[in-house]
Amino acid sequence: MALSTAAEIARRTLGKPAHELDEEEAQVIADIESGQLSARDAADVADETSTWGEKLADRVAAVGGSWGFIIAFSVILLGWMLLNSDVLSHFGMAFDPYPYIFLNLMLSTLAAIQAPVIMMSQNRQSAKDRLAASLDYRTNLRAEIDILRLHHKLDNAVTERLDSLEAKIDGLAKALARS
């Protein structure tokens, strides 16, 4: 008997009725029944649903967590300090002399803004990881169900072949018994 309905696939492969399947199992069974592929790229799925703010947070985290940013920011800080300590102070024009109060204010403001944005990006990455795990589970479940269905088909084919051979052997045995 060939597997055809979602209820039959669920019962034979997962060992439970269709109404007891969780969402992922039901989706995989529906994909099998409709002949659709169920493997999807988690990054593509996450990008389809991401908002402008989430994409911005990812970009800020990517820039803020790079060596290029660290090096450029270090050069800017060193330049600021040299400019206000050495160059402009000789002319009495230092706008932020040592102890660099304005620089500290700007750094604190940057940290206050950048930290939550990076945390948003990390939360989004965690959501992507959960989505990837869910999609991997679906793909693995689909493969397992397909393998079980192939086993079932092979078992049926072998059984039918054995029944056919048994019938031929019985027929030959009866023919030999008559002669």
Per-residue pLDDT tens digits for 61-86: 889 889 999 999 999 999 999 888 88
pTM > 0.75: no
The predicted-structure confidence for 88-98, as pLDDT tens digits, reads as follows 877 888 888 88
What residues contact 117, with CB distance under 8 A and at least 6 apart? 56, 57, 60, 61, 64
pLDDT at 156: 92
Please say if the pLDDT value at position 40 is more than 90: no
CA dist 104 and 111 (Å) reads 10
pLDDT at 1: 39
